[in-house]
Amino acid sequence: MDEARTFRVAAAQFAVGRDRKANLAGCLRTIDAAAEQGAILVVLPEFCNHLSWYDDRDQALAAACRPGDDFLGPVAEQAARHGMYVKVHVTLASGGGPTGAERITAAGLLYGPDGTLAGAADKQVLMGSENDHLDPATEPGPVVHTALGPVGLYSCMEGVVPEVCRGLALRGAHLLLNSLNSFALDEAALHIPVRAAENRVWVIAANKVGPLLPADRIGAISAAMGVPAEALDGAGESQIVAPDGTVVAKAPRYGEAVVTADIRPAVAADKRRADGTDAFAVRRPALYRPIASPPAPAPAFARARAERIKTAVVRPAGSGRAAVEDAARLVGEAAGRGAALIVLPELFWYPGGVLPDPLRPDVEDARAILRALRHALSGSPSYLACTLPLPEGHAALLLGPDGPVLTQHQLHEGARHRGWARAGEARALRTHDAPWGRVAVVTGDDAAQPETLRLAALAGVDTAAVCLGGAAEPWEYALGLPERAAENRINLVAAGHGAGAVHALPVEFGLWRTREAPFDGVISTPVTTEAGPGLTLAPVRPRQAERRLVSRATDLLDGRPWRLADALVAPRPTAAVAHRTTDR
């Protein structure tokens, strides 16, 4: 495909209720609006045919669409009339499953410019009450060849966990189409754009506006939950996101709207980070097998995790000896002020964390620095995370009251350390049990891969120290680290050469049935304390990592689509799969 070729694409948001004809009219109206603006593709919200609220499965089955019916037929005809791609999302009834009963899935359907069905994807991760009457996907969604390039389909909760989008990108998708039915305010701010940035793909996301629950019940539900009625409306802010996480078009919070942008899908073929590292080529699929394995309990933590501990981000001034002296001083101050965990940037005494001679790391100098840091901790119960050039390569260390307690060798290679920090044979992510919680220490190149902290969560880690290098990209600070905390229920203490932050798990998390306080519109975004130069102290909450139910029957870790995650553990990214559906 010509990398310079641009296409105009659109995201549409509108209200959906129980009136099937009115819902269809909303679909056709916004398809027309997108076509009038010159779009070749438009994405519509999730559950366009009916509210996602049903009294029972019979009602859900009666409301479900079927191929070519009075709902999908007109949508397909409208796509053909305008010669454009239309992604619509509905509940879909299909032939009998293993028991002979009809299946009802939450299905994303992509109609092509000729009105035929180009691809279909059933939702893999159902949210809350969707589990009551809908059936999850039994196979991964396809990557569809289109005039815009390879396209993947996903919806709502599938973008709150990393596996679905990651799998589509690994199978070659350059453009991901997300249909949402969400009143969460952090969808637009965090979960939507991060999936574009971490996978270096375009994302077009269409959310709803208006009530997401039956109009005749909203008052009672609002009163019973102590939640303002407007908090139960779709959160809008449909958007189009570039592969670096930049939102290039965004709809308002309220009201029906169609937003468009001219995009170049082919640029998503380039997976290089700012330092030249190919983010996909350096993946370590053999490490990720626990993600694609059945949920299993993590090793038990021997004591009760602390409700709250104090942590510190240290960003010393200068370089060389001056940086070491400043770091030792600040570490000593942090320990004296009661910080249980202190984190330094990657190779903190080198500008940007890059060795001046990558072929000859000064191991003896590193040992002297280690002695200085241990001296700064002397007599305190604090733990310190840093990275050092060891004889066998680059490693993150966790120093305890009596010396090093964990050595974590870098797992993913990075261009700026090429020549000396090679990732060796696949090793499992290591952890350490401190008196207050289970800890992992992660280097910058490892933190850039969403699988790394997923593995930490599966190992029962509640707090991770992240030592970032100078090559960390803006999206990693603004989106990547907050998302790692949110999607894995892990506290993150991150120190970098240009920035840093503490991302603490919130006490109030999830929807109404998982909260003590009234729902405020934010589901899982961590409480962030930005770290300036010098010393920054902020609390984290290890015990909160034990709470992972974002909604009833929806566990952020155990609910991951592990059965359909083969792409994550394949030896190398597989080719995009062409898909044209004829039997749905």
Q: What is the pLDDT of residues 435-482, one digit of tens each?
A: 999 999 999 999 999 999 999 999 999 999 999 998 889 999 999 999
Domain ranges for the chain:
7-269, 306-417+428-569
Sign of CA dihedral 74, 76, 82, 85: positive
C-alpha–C-alpha distance, residues 24 and 5, integer Å: 33
C-alpha angle with apex 199: 194 to 205, nearest 5 degrees? 50
pLDDT of res. 54: 94
Grouping H, G, I as helix, E, B as strand and the rest as coil, residue 203 is strand
Q: Are strands 239-241 and 383-390 parallel, antiparallel or unpaired?
A: unpaired
Name residue, tokens 């793909």.
201
pLDDT of res. 513: 65
- Who's near 224: CB < 8 A, 6+ residues apart? none
pLDDT of res. 223: 79
**Eight-class DSSP state of 416:** G
Q: Which helix (H) or strand (E) holds 440?
A: strand 437-443
Q: Which DSSP string do the residues of 254-322 spell out, in sequence order?
A: SS-EEEEEEE-GGGGG--B-TTS-BTTTT--GGGGGGGGS---PPPPPSSPPPS-EEEEEEE-SSSHHH
Q: What CATH topology corresponds to 306-417+428-569? A: Nitrilase/N-carbamoyl-D-aminoacid amidohydrolase (3.60.110)
Sign of CA dihedral 108, 112, 113, 115: negative
Rg (CA), the chain: 25
C-alpha–C-alpha distance, residues 209 and 252, integer Å: 10
Q: What are phi and psi of 59, to 5 degrees?
A: -65, -40
Name residue, tokens 């080529």.
281
> Where in 5-45 does DSSP place strands (E)?
7-13, 41-43
C-alpha–C-alpha distance, residues 135 and 298, integer Å: 28
> Where in 316-434 does DSSP place strands (E)?
341-343, 383-390, 393-400, 403-409, 432-434
Per-residue confidence in pLDDT tens, the chain, 584 aa: 566 899 999 999 999 999 999 999 999 999 999 999 999 999 999 999 999 999 999 999 999 999 999 999 999 999 999 999 999 999 999 976 555 679 999 999 999 999 999 999 999 999 999 999 999 999 999 999 999 999 999 999 999 999 999 999 999 999 999 999 999 999 999 999 999 999 999 999 999 999 999 988 888 877 776 678 888 899 999 999 999 999 999 999 999 999 999 999 999 999 999 899 999 999 999 999 999 999 999 999 999 999 999 999 999 999 999 999 999 999 999 999 999 999 999 999 999 988 877 666 666 788 899 999 999 999 999 999 999 988 888 999 999 988 999 999 999 998 888 777 766 555 789 999 999 999 999 999 999 999 999 999 999 999 999 999 988 899 999 999 999 999 999 999 999 999 999 999 999 898 766 677 777 888 899 999 999 999 999 999 999 999 999 988 999 999 999 999 999 999 874 443 333 333 33
C-alpha angle with apex 481: 265 to 262, nearest 5 degrees? 20
Q: Which CATH number fits domain 7-269: 3.20.20.150, 3.40.190.10, 3.60.110.10, 3.30.70.100?
A: 3.60.110.10
Q: What are phi and psi of 481, to 5 degrees?
A: -70, -45
Grouping H, G, I as helix, E, B as strand and the rest as coil, residue 235 is coil
The length of the chain is 584
Identify whether the C-beta of residue 48 lies closer than 8 Å to the C-beta of residue 42: no
C-alpha–C-alpha distance, residues 115 and 8, integer Å: 19
Torsion-angle region of residue 37: left (phi > 0), alpha (psi -120 to 50) or beta? Answer: alpha
Q: Which DSSP string do the residues of 72-140 spell out, in sequence order?
A: HHHHHHHHHHHT-EEEEEEEEEEEE-TTSPEEEEEEEEEE-TTSSEEEEEE-SS--TTHHHH----SSP
Tokens of 341: 């965990």
Name residue, tokens 């949210």.
127
| Identity of residue 291 | I
C-alpha–C-alpha distance, residues 106 and 126, integer Å: 8
- Who's near 63: CB < 8 A, 6+ residues apart? 20, 49, 50, 54, 91
Cα 78 to the center of its chain, rounded Å: 33
C-alpha–C-alpha distance, residues 316 and 294, integer Å: 43
C-alpha–C-alpha distance, residues 114 and 92, integer Å: 21
pLDDT of res. 360: 64
Tokens of 25: 């009219």
Identify whether the C-beta of residue 377 lies closer than 8 Å to the C-beta of residue 401: yes
Identify whether the C-beta of residue 290 lies closer than 8 Å to the C-beta of residue 280: no
C-alpha–C-alpha distance, residues 219 and 216, integer Å: 7
Tokens of 497: 């050469």
| Identity of residue 253 | R
Torsion-angle region of residue 471: left (phi > 0), alpha (psi -120 to 50) or beta? Answer: alpha
**Eight-class DSSP state of 233:** B
Tokens of 505: 């798990």
Sign of CA dihedral 31, 36, 41, 46: negative
Residue 349 burial (CB count, 10 A): 22
